[in-house]
Amino acid sequence: MEMKRQNEDPLMTPVMYLKGVGEHRARLLAKLGVQTVLDLMELFPRTYLSRLVNPTLGELQVGDMVSLTAEISWVDAKPTARGKKILSVGVNDGKIGLTCVWFAFPPAYLTLFKPGKTIWLSGTLSAFNNQLQMNHPDFEILADDHEEDSFWKSRQLLPVYPLTEGITQNLMRKLVLSAFSSYADQIGENLPAFILEKRQFPPRRDALQIMHFAQKTQAADQARIRFAYEEFFYSQIMWARHRVFHEKKEQGIKHENHQKLTTALKERLAFELTSAQKRVIREIFADMCSEIQMSRLMQGDVGSGKTIVTLFAMLLAVENGHQAALMAPTEILAEQHYQNFTRLLEPLSLKVVLLKGGNYKGKAELKEQIASGEAQIVLGTHALIQKDVAFHRLGLVVVDEQHRFGVEQRALLAAKDSHPDLLYLSATPIPRSLAMTVYGDLMVSQIDEMPPNRKSVLTYVRSDRKFDTVLSDVKKELDKGRQAYFVCPLVEESEKLALLDAQRLYDYLKNKVFTNCTIDLIHGRMANKVKDEIMQRFKAAETQILVSTTVIEVGVDVPNATVMVIEHAERFGLAQMHQLRGRVGRGADQAYCFLIAHQPQSSMARERLSIMSRSTDGFVIAEKDLELRGPGEMFGYEQSGLPEFRFANLVQDQAILALARTDAFDIVLQDPQLMRDEHKLLRKIYLSKYAKREELILY
Ligand code: ADP
Ligand code: MG
């Protein structure tokens, strides 16, 4: 089936068969996501370099972001005191000179830059000793006249493609040109004619060519807008269908607010609910008490009190004679919920059970209690979605840390009974501006307020040269009986840059610094069981220090841990650092976070560190995170169900999103099944892109 389809569409020809590619280059191109001829045609240039409009250095100012071409005049590699090398390359535009500097660079750079060659540079202009300078610029050494393809030689604007080792800009341009000269005729349309007309978009074939061969950047951006629209449009068709599906009345369970169990719980709480918690409980109850199936996401920072809100929702289901289930991503989290729930529910005499994976004594009996309905509240891990687990009148499904589960797994749990209400929890705040694209028509509740009297974590950025002072600060906390986390970037064997990895840090701290302390190491390559045991020991305060890679991100609650040290903080994304910092400050004591920054740092990294030291609000940080990333760089959100946008920039293209959304909803509200003649093409393209995803969302 798959083969046949490939034969039918020439654009699906594997890129290997394109002139000039072959097996070896095809493997390299695959690293860029290029598998077929169409992928190559859709490989959007990162930027464009202009040969004509070229600012002269004299016009530029320090702080400007600039792209320019200049001639290399000299190259110099100086050893530093600490045994590294700094590479400097001098360039000039005939009048004024500029020095490009690399504090870290691959060895190949030493022979790459040759005086006399023309180089294209892009970066931020700085100054050092009264001399213009650019640190770690983006660059391309331009081909000499005789090396360059005659087509590209005549162009004013050259596309700059993302590259991978073994593929040069020149080669990439050649391949793109070759793809278009053989296959341009085959490019079909993806948008209905009435949309093209309404929105004044060029046909797809033209737009693709403009993207690569534009003579003006403005034209290229116009073409890009068409593709951004296209991506948004089809994702919004899906959300429009989601809405139509979920508004069918007969789908859901209509709970009634009897105020029995929920009131009993409220009276027993040792604290007053925050107004954000109260608001979100109202939102959830309103959904659960309507006949429409609830499909709601609850977002809130770590420690904002999502658990208690969840418990209210579960009690509402239970007092209506339904079962409520919660699925957590790890055993330790499931157990944590189990302990909290049994403690809080003790006087209400409800049956709460915990179902874990694997085979153990008493498991058959637990499954029996779940199937019979004797168990009213069911907590568990992936064990809950196994085939042999049956529920009884399941009224509410809660998925904790929802982004840790695949869409399939979430759907499987929901499909265990007919249309239970669905509540997803997330401690990764998705920026408000993104919520509509990521979650479309899921209703989103935000707990954007912390419980009172919570001390916010004091955050300091420290240079790695001041590491000793950080260690003595950590020691003071340990002496008070507190615990500390040290987090390193991922251990990667192939990593050439000398990262101070978790293992080395562990050895150093254990043998040289905290010789009288208990200390453990945890990393992603360990078996889950081993990881759980290490976490349990830390939770029980049997270990004082935990050195880890980023695996501790999950919501494990250790109130006695008051220090978080993040090594090579300049390498972490904002969202990730914020998650890590959320591990501390969960108790009554003042907590600290030290961000250890090494040189060199990009200006972006500096900006991230500065934001971290200024703000502890997850929503603010998420917005900033988004601003600082480009499209296709949505690291950390992959599993959130976020469709991959290759052209659209989620920050800049909000206006285009709004247009696409209006158009998509208009169409689907009139023709939900897309059966009309004029929607034929739309239906075909939509199904080819979204059939699988839709299956999972419209359960
Ligand atoms: P989350 O799941 O959002 O990370 P939790 O629900 O685990 O956060 O809550 C963190 C801590 O705050 C818990 O110890 C909880 O008992 C406490 N807590 C929750 N709500 C309040 C509140 N309104 N006032 C005081 N403490 C609260
Ligand atoms: Mg939680």
Do residues 432 and 473 both lie within one domain? no
Quick one: pLDDT at residue 250?
A: 58
**Domain span at residue 535?**
458-615
Determine the average pLDDT of the residues in 693-699.
56
The reply to whether 166 falls in a domain is no
SS (H, E, C) 442-494: CEEEEECCCCCCCCCCEEEEEEHHHHHHHHHHHHHHHHCCCEEEEECCCCCCC
Do residues 153 and 89 both lie within one domain? yes
- Cα separation, 484 vs 488, in Å, equals 13
Quick one: pLDDT at residue 551?
A: 58
> How many folded domains does the chain comprise?
3
Q: Do residues 295 and 442 touch, judged by C-beta distance below 8 A? A: yes
Pocket test for ligand 1, best of 281, 307, 337, 579 (most atoms within 8 A of CB): 307
Among the candidates 418, 447, 476, a domain finishes at 447
Quick one: pLDDT at residue 409?
A: 64
Do residues 437 and 465 both lie within one domain? no
Among the candidates 447, 469, 485, a domain finishes at 447
Do residues 276 and 405 both lie within one domain? yes
134-172 residue pLDDT tens: 888 888 888 776 666 778 877 778 888 888 778 888 889
Determine the average pLDDT of the residues in 571-578.
83
Quick one: pLDDT at residue 405?
A: 61
- Nearest atom in ligand 1 to the alpha carbon of residue 272 is 23
- Residue 504's pLDDT band, with cuts at 50, 70 and 90, is confident
- For ligand 1, the distance from its centroid to the CA atom of residue 178, given in whole angstroms, is 60
The protein residue with its alpha carbon nearest to ligand 1, atom 10, reads 303
- Cα separation, 221 vs 214, in Å, equals 9
Determine the average pLDDT of the residues in 693-698.
58
The protein residue with its alpha carbon nearest to ligand 1, atom 27, reads 451
Do residues 468 and 426 both lie within one domain? no
Determine the average pLDDT of the residues in 75-93.
83
Determine the average pLDDT of the residues in 493-511.
66
Determine the average pLDDT of the residues in 667-679.
93
Please report, as a single letter, which amino acid is at residue 140: E
Quick one: pLDDT at residue 633?
A: 44
- Residue 275's pLDDT band, with cuts at 50, 70 and 90, is very high
Determine the average pLDDT of the residues in 369-382.
94
- Residue 604's pLDDT band, with cuts at 50, 70 and 90, is confident
Quick one: pLDDT at residue 146?
A: 63
- Cα separation, 7 vs 110, in Å, equals 46
Please confirm whether the linkage preceding 600 is cis (ω < 30° from 0).
yes
- Residue 422's pLDDT band, with cuts at 50, 70 and 90, is confident
Do residues 267 and 356 both lie within one domain? yes
Do residues 443 and 509 both lie within one domain? no
Listed residue (1, 107, 127) closest to 57, CA to CA:
127
- Cα separation, 263 vs 319, in Å, equals 11
The reply to whether 570 falls in a domain is yes
Higher-pLDDT residue of 419, 650: 419
Do residues 413 and 466 both lie within one domain? no
The reply to whether 241 falls in a domain is no
Please name which ligand lies nearest the alpha carbon of 398: 2
- For ligand 1, the distance from its centroid to the CA atom of residue 546, given in whole angstroms, is 24
The reply to whether 60 falls in a domain is yes
Quick one: pLDDT at residue 414?
A: 66
Determine the average pLDDT of the residues in 241-258.
78
Q: Do residues 240 and 665 touch, judged by C-beta distance below 8 A? A: yes
Indicate if the pLDDT at residue 565 is higher than 90: yes
Among the candidates 427, 447, 467, a domain finishes at 447
Quick one: pLDDT at residue 175?
A: 94
Quick one: pLDDT at residue 641?
A: 43
Quick one: pLDDT at residue 552?
A: 57
The reply to whether 672 falls in a domain is no
Do residues 380 and 479 both lie within one domain? no
Listed residue (647, 642, 242) closest to 434, CA to CA:
642
Quick one: pLDDT at residue 638?
A: 40
Do residues 411 and 519 both lie within one domain? no
Determine the average pLDDT of the residues in 573-592.
87
Pocket of ligand 1 (CB under 6 A): 271, 273-274, 277, 300, 302-308, 427, 451, 555
- For ligand 1, the distance from its centroid to the CA atom of residue 27, given in whole angstroms, is 50
* Adjacent-strand bridge partners of 597: 463
94-144 residue pLDDT tens: 778 899 998 878 788 888 899 999 888 887 788 777 788 888 888 888 877
- Nearest atom in ligand 1 to the alpha carbon of residue 302 is 4
Quick one: pLDDT at residue 699?
A: 45
The reply to whether 690 falls in a domain is no
Do residues 156 and 284 both lie within one domain? no
Q: Do residues 391 and 323 touch, judged by C-beta distance below 8 A? A: yes
Please name which ligand lies nearest the alpha carbon of 304: 1
623-645 residue pLDDT tens: 788 777 644 444 344 434 445 67
The reported pTM is: 0.67
Q: Is 104 left (phi over 0), alpha (psi -120 to 50) or beta?
A: beta
196-231 residue pLDDT tens: 999 999 999 999 999 999 988 888 888 999 999 999
389-403 residue pLDDT tens: 999 999 999 988 766
234-245 residue pLDDT tens: 988 988 887 787
* Adjacent-strand bridge partners of 71: 92, 118
Listed residue (522, 519, 581, 579) closest to 551, CA to CA:
522
276-313 residue pLDDT tens: 999 999 999 999 999 888 888 898 887 889 999 999 99
Per residue in 141-152, is it b (16+ CB within 10 Å) or e — as a string?
Answer: bbbeeeebeeeb
**Can you read off the two tokens belonging to residue 466?**
């001041």
130-143 residue pLDDT tens: 788 888 888 888 87
- Cα separation, 560 vs 552, in Å, equals 15
- Nearest atom in ligand 1 to the alpha carbon of residue 301 is 3
- 530: CATH: 3.40.50.300
The reply to whether 237 falls in a domain is no
Listed residue (90, 103, 95) closest to 60, CA to CA:
95
Do residues 412 and 494 both lie within one domain? no
The protein residue with its alpha carbon nearest to ligand 1, atom 23, reads 273
The reply to whether 648 falls in a domain is no
